[in-house]
Structure 1
Amino acid sequence: MTTEPHLQLGQASALPQTPEEAQLDRVPNPHPDTDYLARFTVPEFTSLCPVTGQPDFAILVIDYVPGPWLVESKSLKLYMHSFRNHGAFHEDCTVAIGKRLAELLEPRYLRIGGYWYPRGGIPIDVFWQTGELPKNLWLPDQGVAPYRAR
């Protein structure tokens, strides 16, 4: 199996300061003729409120059915980290991540769920998807309970 040139995997990589400068890497799907689901969960995602500069926290769940490419997980971790000092609303962060992954990977199906912790008493959950889920593929629940006030 060959990979794309200049992978960050296996070498020292600086933390990207912005999502725009973060390098997302992909590798060939070893089973391009098989429909299967890959899931990444980011339980400690952080970004900044673009108005107040205060931190926002979320659990992100990314499900995709690979086409020709898989996302390389080290580059995904670095990409997620790049949002730590990035000011954007919840909707923008969630949808931008989904769109960037879809453009890079050309998946058969991709969905992202952003489960944002409440600020100001209001939680915001953001969902985006592209493509069609193959008919015979099991798509599990994302496993994040809806917010319940205490």
Structure 2
Amino acid sequence: MNHPSVQSSPLSGSENFAESLTEASAETKYGERHIAEGQLITFPNPRLGRRYTIQITLPEFTCKCPFSGYPDFATIAINYVPNERVVELKAIKLYINSYRDRYISHEESVNQILDDFVAACDPLESTIKGDFAPRGNVHTVIEVHHQKPAMP
């Protein structure tokens, strides 16, 4: 006899549970949809006219080596001085997660992140640093910079 607080569910029984798992794994999860979209969303700078730096650290970056297919892991650090727009934090997290199944080199991934970041929020200055976990006794750090040209 079950405890009174235990309720029957569609997942009760091994057959129903297996069917539910199969159906659930066949459909795209909402998190996967958001990650697949990978769009950088911005909002107006709340302190327009004040020069300040925003630092974002994303310690769970993953991508796949385009040569071996092995996973690469990195911490991505974004430092920027906003202009008129600021990047939304959840959006940058989902954007970074969109790299997890991409076959892309360390160098290309960090440069692409900078290109997309600059296109999204047009910062006055930005630096993207990818600190990749050692693999095969090799530790790679890629750092790229952007500075908005001065207005004449």
1:1-150 equivalent positions in 2, closer than 5 A: 14-17=33-36, 21-131=37-147
Structural RMSD (CA)? 1.4
Identity of counterpart residues, as a percentage? 34
Q: Counterpart of 1:127 in structure 2: which amino acid? A: E
How high is the TM-score relative to the length of structure 1?
Answer: 0.74
Task: Find the aligned partners of 1:61 and 1:22 in 2 and give their Cα distance.
Answer: 18
2:14 matched residue in structure 1 = none
Following superposition, the deviation at residue 22 of structure 1 comes to 1.7
Count residues in correspondence. 118
Following superposition, the deviation at residue 16 of structure 1 comes to 2.8
Task: Find the aligned partners of 2:38 and 2:62 in 1 and give their Cα distance.
Answer: 15
SS at 1:15 equivalent:
helix
Kindly indicate whether the alpha-carbon contact (under 8 Å) linking 1:61 and 1:114 is maintained by their aligned counterparts in 2.
Answer: yes
Following superposition, the deviation at residue 24 of structure 1 comes to 1.1
Following superposition, the deviation at residue 117 of structure 1 comes to 1.0
Greater helix share, 1 or 2?
2
Larger Rg: 2
Task: Find the aligned partners of 1:53 and 1:107 in 2 and give their Cα distance.
Answer: 34
Task: Find the aligned partners of 1:78 and 1:44 in 2 and give their Cα distance.
Answer: 11
Following superposition, the deviation at residue 126 of structure 1 comes to 0.3
SS at 1:103 equivalent:
helix
SS at 2:35 equivalent:
coil
